[in-house]
Amino acid sequence: MALYAIGDLHLSLGTDKPMDIFGGAWLGYMDKLRKGLSCITSEDTTILLGDLTWSLDLDGAEADFAFLNAIPGRKIILKGNHDYWWTTATKFYKFCELKGFKDMFILNNNAYEYEDYAICGTRGWFFEEDAAEGSHNDKIFKRELIRLETSLQQAGDKPKLCFLHYPPRYRGYECPEILELLKKYEVEACYYGHLHGDSHKLAIEGSFDGTDYHLCAADFIDFCPIRVK
C-alpha cells in the first residue's frame, strides 16, 4: 500500500493538443506515462496535482479520464489552471458514474485519510502584489486561501500532507498567506506542480519552516510518480 503524487499530465486523447510538439522531455510522453504509472497497484493511492487534460468540458475529456481510470487504486484529483473541464463535484461524480469510472475523487474543501495521515490541499494561486482589493485575482486568491484552510481543518489532529497545483514558493517568489497556513497547521510536506521546462530551475525543494517541499510536475520527475509514503 503506497501513496504517490504526480501532476501536469496534460492529456489530449480527446483533443488535438499533444505535448510532444514542445519537444525535449515531452517527446513520447504518453509512452513514458504508461511506463511510469505501471508501478501503481490496486492497493495504492495516487494524488493527481492538476492540469490533467486539455479538454474544455467533461464530455470532451472522456478519453483522458478513461486513461486516468485505468490507473489502479484510488485517484485523488486537484484542479490546475488548465483544467477547464472542472465544474462541480456533483457533476463530476455523475459523469464518472455514467462512464463507469471508479475510485476517482476530488480534493476541494475536504481532506482524505491515508493510513495515519491526512491528505489536504487545493489548487492554490499566485500572490500578486498589484492585485487590487476586490479584483478578480484578489477574489480567486482569497477563495483559495479559504479552501486550503478548510481542507487543513478537516484533517483534525492527523499529521498533514498538502498537495497544491501552484508552488507556494520558488526562487524569487513566496506566497506568505499560504506559507503561513502550512506553518500554522504544521504541514509535514507540500507537493506541487505547474513548473515546466526552464522553470524547473526556479523550483525550491527541501525543508522550509518545518515543511518539506517537492515539485511533482510530470516532466520534472520523468513521468514517474513520486512515492510520498
Per-residue pLDDT at 95: 97
107 CB contacts (<8 Å, ≥6 apart)?
47, 76, 77, 78, 119, 120, 121, 122, 151, 163
Q: Estimate to the nearest angstrom the gap between the alpha carbon of 84 and the chain centroid.
A: 14
CATH architecture of 3-227: 4-Layer Sandwich (3.60)
Per-residue pLDDT at 127: 66
Q: Estimate to the nearest angstrom the gap between the alpha carbon of 99 and the chain centroid.
A: 23
**Selection from 198, 192, 186, 189 nearest residue 218 by Cα:** 192
DSSP string, 42-56: TT-EEEE-S--B--S
Per-residue pLDDT at 212: 98
pTM listed for this prediction: 0.95
**Selection from 73, 82, 15, 14 nearest residue 47 by Cα:** 73
Quote the cell numbers at residue 108.
Answer: 476541494
The low-confidence residues of the chain, meaning pLDDT below 70, are: 127-134
Per-residue pLDDT at 23: 83
Alpha carbon distance, N-terminus to C-terminus of the chain? 9
Nearest-10 Cα torsion for 26, 52, 193, 122: 180
Per-residue pLDDT at 61: 96
Delimit the domains of the chain by residue range: 3-227
